Structure formats: structure tokens, C-alpha cells
Structure 1
Amino acid sequence: MGKKPVDSIVRAQAVALSDAGLNQVEISRQLHISRHCVQNAIKKYKETGQYNDFPRTGRPKKIPNRGIRHLKRLVKDDGRLSAAKITSDLNASLPKPVSTRTVRRYLRDLGYEYVVKIKKQWLSNKHRQQRVNWCTRYMHWTPEDWRKVIFSDESTFYVLKRKNQCKIWRLEKEKLLPECIQQTNTGDGGKVGIWGGISGFGATAARIYMENMDGKLYCDVLQHQLKHSMAQIPKTTKILFQQDLAPWHTSNIVKEKIAKLRLDVLDWAPKSPDLNPVEMLWSILDKKLASKPMYSKAALMDRLQEEWDNVDQDLCIKLVESMPERIRKCLKAKGGHFL
């Protein structure tokens, strides 16, 4: 490790004291610097007429500017998977090859992160256009308009497997403690389904079920959970019901049930779960379920019902009122995925 450089003002004082007739030892004692520093300051001033150090070139870059531009081009499209592959392609254009570790360091300096891909539904050009058309049609709706919509959805939860990655703080020696292990089992311990909705009036009643969702079961949900929840809303409010385009939602038996119940259904763009604010609740529920271990489907059903009953009603309203912002983001992304 190098020594701390002497300030240019101190060097100027050393030169001035030398011109005044003091020897190097006396100057060293008076300025509290080594005699060698005094000697170098006087010598540099005589040779260059300056007190400051010359700019240092420093260690040459392992990847020159041109190589960095090439590196940026390589980290695009399908070339993002492996630092080893990126290094191999980059070394073909460099006069001196670099290691994979060096390439990783440069990528981090450029702001890149090596992370898990975000899972999103595949969108064709047709899907994107349909999403844009839907957002354009409703972009002028206000939060007050969206409060009158009941957003609904189904989700599946597993006894042992969580939707979110579970991260904890632990010491290396604690990694095998029961509270530090995410237990798994064949079949993930069983699954349970839940139907629920939110609006500007809070959360609806939830339907928790162990069988697979189909048209018959969905009709029962509309007849009981949805109608019961709508009965709690003032009759003067004209309510719209939102559902996605899942096969059981568009079946003939469900269409007949909707007509019989006289539900006003909001049209919906295909493959648009990110536009549905109720999707946020599934992630929140999953985090709460992860706080306490479960070992049976019955326990999972009880916990789901408990957590749904404790959903913050103000949070539901805020999620519904976020629709204008969601629409703006979707239009900005030209119908593509957004966060």
C-alpha cells in the first residue's frame, strides 16, 4: 500500500524555505515531512517549475472502450444466459483474452445483474394489439369509475410450495435448522383453490375449494359468493363484474348463469392478468402463508380463509384505484408486459 501523497502547498513551502537558505533536514523538521519528500519537491520544481504531481495513467483497462461497446452488444436478446459464452465471444475480438471473472466484474460495473427471469405469459402481436385497444377504450375512466367494478380471479395454493421465493436471514451454521428449511414433498403436499374479488367497497366473500374449477362450480360461486357480496353494496350503485377469459368463464353454462343473474360483465383483454389488481392479493396471501408451516390441505384451507378475512379493505380500494396507472403503463409498453 503506497504512502499518502504530500500536499502541493507543503511542497511549495519546502521550496520557499530552501530558497531562504534552510537545509533539507531543517525543512523536514519544520514541515513534519521526510527529508526524501523535501528533496523530491525541490528537484521537481527545478526540473518542471511545478509543485503538483503529473496525471497518472493508472493501470490499463483489461477491456478497452471498443471492447466494452462490443460487450454491451453481446448482452442482448438470447446472449444473456452465460458469462462464459459472453467471454468466449468477446475474446474473439480482443487482442488479449480476459477471464470470465473479469467479464462479470465489467457487467456489474455497467449496471447488469444476474437474476432469475421474471415469468410472464407469452404475448403475440395480436394479444398486444387487443391489450392496447382495451386500454385505449378505458383510459378515460377515473378511480371513481373503477371503484364500481368487482375484479375477480381464481388462484391455486399448495401446502408446501410457495408462489414467492422465500428468503431469510441466517448464519452458515444455521442452514439446516427447521426454521431455515423450506420443506418439500412429492406433489407439493396437495393444493387448494380460492376464488375472490375486490372492489371500491372492499373484498368479496371467498370460495375455497379442493376440486378443479369448472363451469358448474363457477356457477355456484356466482350464485352464492358473488351475489352475497353484491347484496352488501348499496343498491343505487351500478356494479360491473370483471372476469378473465378462462375456459370455464366463457362456457355456455356460465353465460346462461350470468344472464339469469343479470350481471353486467366488463369486457376483458385476453392474457392480461397484470391488468387485474386482484392478482396483487395472491402474492400478499402467499407471503402471509409462508410465516407459519402447514402440513395438510385442511390446515391450508383454514389459513387461506383466515388470511382472506383479514385482508385490509383500504388496500383493496387502493388496488382498484390503481387501474388508471396500470392502463397508462400498458399503453406506454405498447401492450407489452409492465411492472
Structure 2
Amino acid sequence: MGRYRPVTSDDISAISSLHKAGHSVKDIAANTGVSVRSVSRWVQQISNSGDDDLPRKKLPPGRPRKTHPRTLNIIKRDVDKCPSISGRQLKENNHVLLGEVSVRTVPRRVHDDLGFKHFVARPKPLLKEVHKDNRLQFCRKYLPWDTENWKGVLWSDEAKCTVTSSRKKRVYPGQ
């Protein structure tokens, strides 16, 4: 975006009325807050058109976006809820909204439009010999148990234990 604010239709009508009243380009620019160059361009378009209709602003170039601001809000909510979610998972979770959008567009919207920056998650520390020994002692303690003893266990905490580092995962830690 440039240094100046975009010219609105109200600005264009003010430029047109002030020009028809006989004000100079610099006076119009000072009154409306629009740059002198923009005012002179609009005055030239008004003069060239010759009729009383206001000249229309050109539409922005390029094709319209497939994602709407409301869709971006839903994506933002999903990323806030689960920072390690991937673009493919976002698309699968919101297949109605993002059905015709490519998988690569989704992380681009997360990064460019929502302002999230992805980082590589800090890896879990590797198992040390002490951890391995403790785990082995725990397993040997319950090795002689039969199925009757295990039926008395209400809940067992299972965790993934890796000796080597797993694949690095990208996360969006928030804004």
C-alpha cells in the first residue's frame, strides 16, 4: 500500500464539486486531504468525460479471491485452537468453505493475511540412560502380572517414547 490513503467515492464527488466551483487543484487537495497528483488526475478525468456523471474508479486488477474475510476468521479460530495444524488439515476440516481452494493457498492466507509466522517446534529431548533404566525397572515390575491383575487397572497412561528425534513439526505460536 502507498503512503496515501485510497481515494473514496466521497472524495471523488468532493473533487468534482470543488472543481466545478472553480477551485484550484492545490486548494482541492488541501480541502479533501487527497494528494495533488491524484486530484489533478481526477480533475482531468472529469474534464475529459464532459457529462455530469462522476468518473468511476477502476476495479483492482486480478481475479477475485476465493477466500472471504469470514473464512479467514474461521481459519484463525482453528489455528488458535491447534497451533500445530497443517494447511491440509485446515482444508479438510473446512471442506465446505475451502473446497475449491488449493492446499498451498491455505497456509499462504494464514501467513500473509492473518499474520501468523510458523516456527519449527522444539523437539522433545532424547531419552537418557536414566530414563531407559527407569522404564525397564517399571516393565520388569509388572512383567509377572497375569490378565486378572491387569483387569483391576482402571486407566493406563500411554505415551510415545522415541529414542531418536522425530520429524520436525511446524507450529503457529500465535501473534
Normalising by structure 2, we get a TM-score of 0.42
Structure 1 or 2: larger strand share? 1
Normalising by structure 1, we get a TM-score of 0.25
Query: Highest Rg: 1 or 2?
Result: 1
